[in-house]
Structure formats: C-alpha cells, structure tokens
Amino acid sequence: MRVVIYGFGQIGKLLAENCVKRGFEVVGAVDINPKLVGKTLREFGIDSDAKIERSLNFEGDLAFVTTGSFLDKVYPQIEECIKGGFNVISTCETLAYPEYRYPELAKKINELAKENGVTVLGTGINPGFLLDTLPIVLSAPCVEVRRVRAVRSIDALKRRTQFRKKVGVGLSLNEFEKANLTGHVGYAESALLISEALDFKAERVEEGQEPVIENGNVLGMKGFGSVLSSGEEVVRVEFHAYANASEFEEIKIEGDNAIVWRSSGTKGDLGTVAVLINLARAVVRHEPGLIKMTDLIPFSWRII
C-alpha cells in the first residue's frame, strides 16, 4: 500500500507515523506551509525519507486528506487526488454524508471517481465511527429498532490546542459570541448515517450546539443532531466537549433486543488515525465511486 498524507498538521503527522508502523509505504506528503515544504518526514521523527511537497507530485494507491471540515473548501484537493489516480479517505466531516449539505458536489465526486477508477470516503472517529458506525453495529442483534441515542463526552482540556480553540475553551461569553466558532462539525451527518443504515427516511433533520458556561467563562460546547419522523425523535447523537467533562461514550438501542453500551472514553486523534488506516485496504478494493460508511457495514435494518 503506497499512501500520501495530504495535510501535514497534527493529524497528518500522527497519521504518517502510524502508517509507517502499520507497514504502509508513505511516498510523500502535501502541505502549503512554507516551513514544511521540502523537508522529509524523518525530520519530524518519522521513519521515512518521503518529502513534503506543495502539490501532489507523487504516485500511489491512496491519499489521506486531512485538511478541512467543509467539502466545498476541500473539494479542489479531493479532485486533484482523484485525477492523480488516488483513492481517497478524508477526515472532512461533511464528506461523511455529503448529500446532506453538498448534493451537487457529491454527485460530481461520484462521477469523477468512477471515471478515474477510484473510491472516495469521508470518515474518522466522529463522524465515521463512535456516533454512527458503532451504533449501527450495536444494532445488529435487533430485528426491530425503534430509537437510537448516542452520546460522546470528552474533557476538552486533554485535547490539542486547535481543538480547544474550536470549542471556545477559556473565552468570555462576549468573546465567544463574536468569534463565530464552528465547534464540532458532523452532527447531522452522523444521525443520517444511522438513519440510512436503518432504512429510515428522515422527515426532518435538526442539529445545534451551545456553549457550556461557568462563572461567565466558556468551558467548551455541547451539541446534538437528530432525525425526526412524525414529530418524534428516532435518532439522536450528542457530543459534549468542555473543560473537565467526564469522558465516555454511551449508546442506547431501543427495540426488541434493547442494548445499552458504555465506554470509559476514546482517544480522539489516535482513534481518527486508526479508523483511516484500518479502512485503507477496504477502500482501495471497493468498487469505484463516492461511498459512505454505510456502504462498508454488512448490517441493515428498518426502524418501525
């Protein structure tokens, strides 16, 4: 497996390091940061002499694209990879269920991928696994599913600086309101992935997030995504990311074989990297086109 790391930030570096550990050949990395261009991965403590280039001047099997959350911004990079003959796995959150926000781009990517004989997937730890794929898999023992609820809670203080900034840790409420932060991206995508696997046609999709405040200061954010049918919420995912929050994931499946599953928390960055690496061979071997995690999961049901 010959791979390229497209975006050599903190996730890209961790991804390159673990690709080498897994035995993949990292043929190069792409980044526009002038402080990185021209250097080798070995200069960052990674056991590889692959170079970092400004553009995709490599040949290989798959490109890991870790550059942004919104598909309209990331699309040119995905297009470059597809036309270069690379299969693509991206951490772009809105690519996890692209038809929701970007139906025209989704169609364009699917057609371009098929024309070039490659496969494109958006995934990661969240969306991609903890709040969507995992609940789907946990629903496997059920014949009838009535409701799914999944919650992930993390202590934002244990996350990298970029993430803490994204959820507003340490800002005053006034600063938070002026900052127009994105917070977590992908609530609706996760809820829709669950709905698709359950063969449920969403009548309405809702999502939102708000700051967690203590003594006038922002500790982070809480948010949700849900799918409704006949005014009733049948799928709900929540993500809590604030200072000193308890760390856990909890999934509740209501149906003929009710299930409650709870963890003691999952490392986000390492989890993201692991999900991408563990899906690499499946994506390369998959039929060309734009796919979602629901195309890789062998279970499907119908909400009643």
Same domain membership, residue 260 and residue 223: yes
Same domain membership, residue 103 and residue 24: yes
Strands 145-155 and 232-242: parallel
Same domain membership, residue 29 and residue 115: yes
Same domain membership, residue 89 and residue 44: yes
In the predicted structure, residue 242 carries a pLDDT above the cut 60: yes
191 φ/ψ angles, rounded to the nearest 5 degrees: -60, -40
* pLDDT tens string 257-269: 999 999 999 999 9
Total domain count, the chain: 2
The answer to whether residue 300 is domain-embedded is no
The answer to whether residue 284 is domain-embedded is yes
Same domain membership, residue 179 and residue 284: no
Same domain membership, residue 78 and residue 47: yes
Same domain membership, residue 245 and residue 206: yes
In 3D, which of 275, 243, 263 has the Cα closest to residue 159? 243
Same domain membership, residue 99 and residue 7: yes
Q: What is the pLDDT of residue 230?
A: 81
- Domain holding 176, by residue range, is 133-265
Residue 180: how many CB atoms within 10 A of its CB? 6
HSE value, Cβ hemisphere, 13 Å, CA-based, for 227: 26
What are the structure tokens assigned to 189, written together? 């995508």
Same domain membership, residue 181 and residue 255: yes
What CATH number does the domain containing 117 carry?
3.40.50.720
Same domain membership, residue 246 and residue 226: yes
In the predicted structure, residue 35 carries a pLDDT above the cut 70: yes
The answer to whether residue 168 is domain-embedded is yes
CA dihedral of 138, 140, 145, 151, whole degrees rounded to 10 = 10
* pLDDT tens string 2-25: 999 999 999 999 999 999 999 999
Q: What is the pLDDT of residue 201?
A: 82
Gap between the Cα atoms of 15 and 13, Å rounded: 5
Helix/strand/coil for 187: helix
Name the pLDDT band for 302 (thresholds 50, 70, 90).
low
Gap between the Cα atoms of 156 and 33, Å rounded: 27
**Furthest-apart CA pair in the chain: how many Å?**
58
Name the pLDDT band for 271 (thresholds 50, 70, 90).
very high
Q: Residue 25: beta bridge partners?
A: 2
In the chain, what percentage of residues exceed pLDDT 70?
Answer: 99
Same domain membership, residue 103 and residue 39: yes
The answer to whether residue 232 is domain-embedded is yes
Same domain membership, residue 260 and residue 142: yes
Q: What is the pLDDT of residue 303?
A: 52
Q: What is the pLDDT of residue 34?
A: 96
Q: Residue 170 carries which DSSP code? A: T
CA dihedral of 13, 98, 220, 7, whole degrees rounded to 10 = 20
Helix/strand/coil for 51: strand
C-alpha triplet 47, 49, 54: angle, nearest 5°: 120
The answer to whether residue 302 is domain-embedded is no
The answer to whether residue 219 is domain-embedded is yes
Q: What is the pLDDT of residue 200?
A: 81
Alpha helices in 37-160 (DSSP H): 71-83, 103-116, 133-138
In the predicted structure, residue 97 carries a pLDDT above the cut 90: yes
The answer to whether residue 304 is domain-embedded is no
In 3D, which of 48, 126, 51, 116 has the Cα closest to residue 78? 116
Only one residue has tokens 């999944």, namely 150
Going by C-beta distance under 8 Å and a sequence separation of 6 or more, which residues neighbour residue 126?
Answer: 152, 184, 186, 190, 239, 268
What are the structure tokens assigned to 253, written together? 């499946």
Name the pLDDT band for 301 (thresholds 50, 70, 90).
low
* pLDDT tens string 181-231: 999 999 999 999 999 999 888 899 999 999 999 999 999 999 999 999 888
What CATH number does the domain containing 199 carry?
3.30.360
Gap between the Cα atoms of 219 and 10, Å rounded: 23
Contact 280, 3 (CB under 8 A): yes
